[in-house]
């Protein structure tokens, strides 16, 4: 049977390993987020076509259609015997009663996972998917996350695994190319970790904002893009937008845009509202807040420095504007996104592209 993937692929392949016991929420959540990473943000908010970060494939023991948990029909892209290499393989959750032995349940999948790991794939799991990695012997001597209800199953059947019952996402074995996630919804942390690892922190944060991942108790404003993205047909206003995008920190920005346009302040304001739907000062403030958000996302400059960089010498005024626009303070915003992202080692920087997982020889 020909393989449908090989190590020279330009786009990293992610295989989602499924069985009839897999939860559709885990499988389709992973598929939706990972298969749109790198593309959905520019396409949704800027009208541009972005580059897909991953080639995501749903795989199973065979390519034959079957029904997973909840009687949901699945049609795998490939059977495991068709795939000899992928950058990432994720074992989705595979529900089983806690009083049932996990031994010998997935012999074909276990053998394939061993081969994929030897070939250099990074292996991940969600919830009870870690039992399959443990059955393969790939977690022996390593720390692992799983659902908290399965600690006795691990203790009884896989005593060599150092179970981390408190962990949502366990990264301590990443040098061994193993990453495990806890309960079913921890697929979110795993997906963000992979996006960060292969595409950098910026891509992970953009994905968080598009899908509203993480804590949503502050509402949608912290996730939303602050500026209208549609192009305008008024040439004078389009020129003003282009100029302010590079000069947003200047003094008296609205007056300077009006002067550059050759229009009276009143006419400029009227045409600006007609073209963009908002007043010029609101546009400038939105642009400044959006630029500040990007600086906060980078987790570099201090908050007062960021305020000055976007045009506010008065730190209190900057904080007040930011909170009014975003619904939370700059410090709370930074905690919500940058500090909440799973940390990976190594980490690709923005624009750096992905780093290939280590070969087995390198990992050991």
Q: Are 88 and 120 in contact (CB under 8 A)?
A: no
* Superfamily (CATH H level) for 221-337: Homeodomain-like (1.10.10.60)
The pLDDT assigned to 299 comes to 67
Largest CA distance in the chain: 80
In the structure encoding, which two tokens stand for residue 338, read together?
């940058």
Residue 260, CA atoms < 13 Å, CB-side half-sphere: 17
**Is the pLDDT at 40 greater than 70, yes or no?**
yes
pLDDT band at 349 (very low <50, low <70, confident <90, very high): very low
User: Among 259-263, 300-304, 352-356, which range has the highest average pLDDT?
Assistant: 259-263
pLDDT band at 359 (very low <50, low <70, confident <90, very high): very low
pLDDT band at 335 (very low <50, low <70, confident <90, very high): confident
Q: Are 132 and 100 in contact (CB under 8 A)?
A: no
Span 13-214+342-363 CATH architecture = 3-Layer(aba) Sandwich (3.40)
Q: Are 253 and 241 in contact (CB under 8 A)?
A: no
The pLDDT assigned to 216 comes to 66
Domain ranges of the chain: 13-214+342-363, 221-337
**Is the pLDDT at 345 greater than 60, yes or no?**
no
Residue 340 or residue 148, greater confidence = 148
Residue 318 or residue 358, greater confidence = 318
| Distant-in-sequence, close-in-space partners of 267: CB < 8 Å, separation ≥ 6 | none
Q: Is 184 helix (H, G, I), strand (E, B) or coil?
A: helix
């Amino acid at each position: 049977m020909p393989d449908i993937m090989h190590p020279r692929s330009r786009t990293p392949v992610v295989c989602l390993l499924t069985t009839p016991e897999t939860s559709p929420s885990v499988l389709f959540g992973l598929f939706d987020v990972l298969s749109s990473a790198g593309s959905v943000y520019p396409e949704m908010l800027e009208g541009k076509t972005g580059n897909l970060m991953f080639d995501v494939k749903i795989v199973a023991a065979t390519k034959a259609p079957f029904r997973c948990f909840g009687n949901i029909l699945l049609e795998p892209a490939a059977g495991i015997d068709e795939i000899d290499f992928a950058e990432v393989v994720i074992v989705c959750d595979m529900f089983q009663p806690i009083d049932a032995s996990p031994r010998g349940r997935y012999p074909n999948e276990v053998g394939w996972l061993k081969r994929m790991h030897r070939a250099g794939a990074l292996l991940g799991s969600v919830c009870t998917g870690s039992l399959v990695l443990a059955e393969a012997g790939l977690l022996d001597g390593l720390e692992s996350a799983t659902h908290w209800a399965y600690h006795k199953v691990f203790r009884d059947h896989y005593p060599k695994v150092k179970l981390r019952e408190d962990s949502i996402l366990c990264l301590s074995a990443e040098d061994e190319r193993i990453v495990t996630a806890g309960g079913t919804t921890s697929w979110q942390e795993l997906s963000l970790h992979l996006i960060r690892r292969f595409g950098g922190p910026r891509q992970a944060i953009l994905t968080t904002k598009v899908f509203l991942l993480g804590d949503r108790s502050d509402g949608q404003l912290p996730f939303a893009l602050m500026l209208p993205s549609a192009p305008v047909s008024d040439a004078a206003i389009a020129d003003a937008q282009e100029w302010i995008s590079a000069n947003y920190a200047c003094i008296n920005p609205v007056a300077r845009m009006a002067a550059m346009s050759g229009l009276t302040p009143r006419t400029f304001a009227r045409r600006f509202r007609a073209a963009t739907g908002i007043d010029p000062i609101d546009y400038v403030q939105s642009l400044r807040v959006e630029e500040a958000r990007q600086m906060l996302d980078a987790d570099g400059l201090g908050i007062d420095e960021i305020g000055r960089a976007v045009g506010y010498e008065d730190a209190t005024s900057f904080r007040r504007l930011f909170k009014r626009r975003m619904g939370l303070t700059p410090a709370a915003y930074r905690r919500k996104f940058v500090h909440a992202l799973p940390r990976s080692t190594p980490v690709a920087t923005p624009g750096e592209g992905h780093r290939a997982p280590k070969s087995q020889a390198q990992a050991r």
